[in-house]
Amino acid sequence: MMNLLSERSRVFERADAYAVSEYVNQHVGTHCIRLPRRGRPAASINHRTFASLDLCRISYGGAVRVTSAALETSFHLQILLQGQCSSRVAGQEHIYVPGEMLLINPHDPVDLTYSADCEKFILKLPVALLESACLAQHWCVPAEGIRFLAARHDLSRLGGFLSLLGLICQEAEGEVEASDTVPGLYERIVAGKLLNLVSSNLSRAVGQVPGRIDEIRQYIEAHLTDDVTVEQLMAVGRVSERSLYALFERHLGIGPRDYIRRRKLESVQRQLTGPGARSVTEVALDHGFSHLGRFAQAYRQRFGELPSQTWKRHRGLEPSACIGAQNG
């Protein structure tokens, strides 16, 4: 197994296990440890921060049980360097050995027991990094977030992933000269490689993205007189908020809220130029514009005239012939 983090990154060596645990709580992830009743295990930890990644090599020096609530904002990749680790998830137990990787999703609780001779390497990746990598590769992030389908992985089958982690550790420890852009480049590479090597709930790629934006646009068109929310659009498109905004920017060049307002204004204009509109106020309220002054201003910015002027012009009236023309 290659050397992931050298002595250059040593923070604690043969230290109190609870002191090491507290350091992990601060930098890697909140957890609780349970140690044997007898003896005082000597724990060690190496740690580096590299861009948004946290790299950690840790051994507790004794058998230890680690439990944690869901990590929520990050993914954890744990690579067994020596010893064994048993994992209990949903009533099932798996035994990990050196050369295997445990992948913990953000919403999964943790219940792990390490052998006394166990040493592991942890890579902590923020959820935001994985979501950004998805969008860069034109994948849509599901509304429930990214989730990898399996926890256990054989590193020999992950196409050079371990070598990539070795390079990142070298960069983090300054063993090779690097520019300021290198950390950001490496974090994007590791996120992209993980997404492409490990099965996940990301099932739709770029060829199917237009279908999602079309579904969302159709929903908006059918609800122009309703108060359409971003949350509703996320549900219709089955995407996260980040993916929703990316879809709108990529395909429409505008954010979802601005797009909804633009389509409402265009619908108002169509009705004002048709034969059925009884008043500007009625049409504006029907479309959810409760503040008539702001509505009139937005309408004029969009179409170059007040809504009242549009209404009068299509009824053969002079704009000045009707009281309140300037108020929309």
Judge if 116 and 257 occupy the same domain: no
State whether residue 123 is helix, strand or coil. strand
Which of 165, 197, 229 corresponds to the end of one domain? Answer: 197
- pLDDT by position in tens, the chain (length 328): 567 999 999 999 999 999 999 999 999 999 999 988 877 889 999 999 999 999 999 999 999 999 998 888 999 999 999 999 999 876 678 999 999 999 999 999 989 999 999 999 999 999 999 988 887 777 778 888 899 988 999 998 888 899 999 999 999 998 555 556 788 889 999 999 999 889 898 864 444 455 688 889 999 999 999 999 999 998 888 888 888 888 888 888 889 999 999 999 999 998 888 877 678 998 999 898 989 999 999 999 999 999 999 888 877 655 443 433 334 4
Radius of gyration of the chain (CA): 28
Q: What is the structure's pLDDT at 178?
A: 53
DSSP structural state of residue 159: T
* DSSP per residue, 261-276: HHHHHHHHHHHHTSS-
Q: Which residue range is the domain that position 145 belongs to? A: 7-197
Check whether residue 155 and residue 300 sit in a common domain: no
Q: Where do runs of H (alpha helix) occur along 181-291? A: 182-197, 209-222, 230-237, 241-252, 256-272, 280-286
Name the residue with tokens 């409402």: 264
The CA distance from 93 to 72, in Å, is 22
C-alpha to C-alpha distance for 133 and 151, rounded to whole angstroms: 20
pTM: 0.71
Same domain, 223 and 159: no
As a whole number of angstroms, the distance between CA 204 and CA 61 comes to 45
CATH number for the domain including 140? Answer: 2.60.120.10
Q: Is residue 86 part of a domain?
A: yes
Q: Residue 238 sits in a domain of what CATH number?
A: 1.10.10.60
Q: What is the pLDDT of residue 321?
A: 38
Indicate if 68 and 151 belong to the same structural domain.
Answer: yes
Query: Which phi-psi region, left, alpha or beta, contains residue 115 (left: φ > 0; alpha: ψ -120 to 50)?
Result: beta
Domains held by the chain: number: 2
Residues with Cβ within 8 Å of residue 98, at least 6 apart in sequence: 1, 80, 81, 82, 83
